[in-house]
Structure 1
Amino acid sequence: MRAVFGLVLIVGVALAGGAVYMARNYISEYQNELARQKQAAAEALANAQVDVIPTVTVYVSNRPLKYGEALTPEDVRAVDWPENAIPEGTFTEMAVLFPEIGPQERFVLRTMEKDEAILAVKVTEPGEKAGLTSRLEKGMRAFAISVDVASGVSGFLRPGDNVDIYWTGSSGTAEGSAGGITRLIQSNIQLIAVDQTAGSDVSQTTIARTVTVAATPEQVAALAQAQNTGRLSLALVGVQDESVASAIEVDQRKLLGIEEIAPAPEKAKEQVCTTRIRRGGDTFETQIPCTN
């Protein structure tokens, strides 16, 4: 009995030893393979050429900003922006956005969302208010035009839109007095305010009573004269419309397709040539052929 027990013990020890040996070989091979893979990955990374994208510090909004709000240093933060994708007019230095000398206060001219880059066209100059004066370019003037539902494009006008302006009235001449005429007097005029709203972020349709346009002094004079002598109507110009409207004038005849009939030419009178012949005391008039 003891001999059988000893034999079983010897066989068990042998099997256990073989299992340990096989497991050690498997673990060793796995570790060797893992080391080879790590070395290969390190060599591939070392040999690879990694393109590093250069960045520039750009200041963006820290929160949503609306027209007319004051812009403060707490409303902006610096982020790294790809150098080849920086929008024109961004601020890359805090000292430029908020100068240390002179007025610092800026106001928002256009709505900005959180993390949107602060652009020069979307804020006022330091110390400048967010009024119409900040939206007028050099040499331009603000002029108000009275409108209603029909002439104001049913409330679909927004600050920043471009419109064509038509004048309807009487020309003061006999030909144009019947029914009046409609004429395009100004093309692609920019709106800078609707009623008293100068911000373009209008959430609902507004039936305006007045719109304010940016025009040159000469255009202002023409619009003032037109508004006092007739009725002005606005036509909204599409965003991508780059066409230039030519001179347009429509009267009642052109509207109804009535063509003017030229008067019939007068029939030339037949020329009659005569001569007088005296016979005795009498005088006779005789027709003769005309020589000229």
Structure 2
Amino acid sequence: MWTGLFFALAAGLLWGLVFVAPLLLPDYPAALLVVGRYLAFGLIALPLALLDRRTLRELAPADWLEAAKLSAIGNFLYYLCLAAAIQRAGGPLPTVIIGTLPVVIALCSNHRNRTRDGQLPWGRLAPSLLLILLGIACVNQTELQRLAASPDGDLRKYLEGGLLAVGAVACWTWYPIRNADWLREHADRNPRAWATAQGLVTLPMALAGGLLLYAAQASGLPLLGADFALPWGPRPAAFVGLMLAVGLLASWVGTLCWNEASQRLPTNLLGQLIVFETLAALSYAFALSGHAPAPLTLLGIALLIAGVLWALRIKPQ
């Protein structure tokens, strides 16, 4: 249990980095950030595949198809929605909407996986979920007040960012449940090899996405903006360096840590531990902005932590 908790914490700290990339590269469209991140992930997975070549050869065609589905929805579509949401609404709002994942995943998996994982009693789970929701509401209220006080605030873009973040929540509610299904059904398989397999299937997807963006730009359909210079954009060193860092740390190492946690913890409890990603992302966003969080935001963060600690005390029946 505590080993699984440690791996979930590590995954959250690493995944929080993906919220920073769109803020550091605001002049790069979300589609290019997605292609860049997963192209880096796929290239990094190629040499790592040599370490697990024996295990990877044992994967059946159905396993590779499952890895492709997980990557398409849990990686590409999720990060496209998230990056676009952050660029429209800023860091905190998408972060706190993504912060509803612990509640949504717990609600979905508590009944669905009750035979395999046991069921957390709804009466004992309710206070934990309520604390997490209250924490998210506190952070969101602070952001709405900041938007109203800002002369440059754009409510339409803010709402668009919120809707895109809801789409990201839908993608990442599906991903950890299906990923945990495969890992629990193949408990003899190495979680590292499964992370590498997901990296390998992202490579052709990223290459196809990059070619599509290039073809659209060349044919006069400016998906990236009429003056955007492909393939590396206006700041090549920053773009390539950040994509490699996110591809290695957030995509491969983060997925590895999450896979390790998925083999050790019930899915209904594991889903609540995604709150570590929310806390890490909020910390990184405030550090990047250079100002301390408001008292109401700090209260929200404290409520999020309290909700997770409460959940850890509940034993599945």
Asked if these proteins are the same fold (TM beyond 0.5), I'd say no
Shorter-chain TM-score: which interval? under 0.3
Scaled by the length of structure 2, the TM-score of the pair is 0.18
Larger radius of gyration between Structure 1 and Structure 2: 1
The structure richer in strand per residue is 1
The structure richer in helix per residue is 2
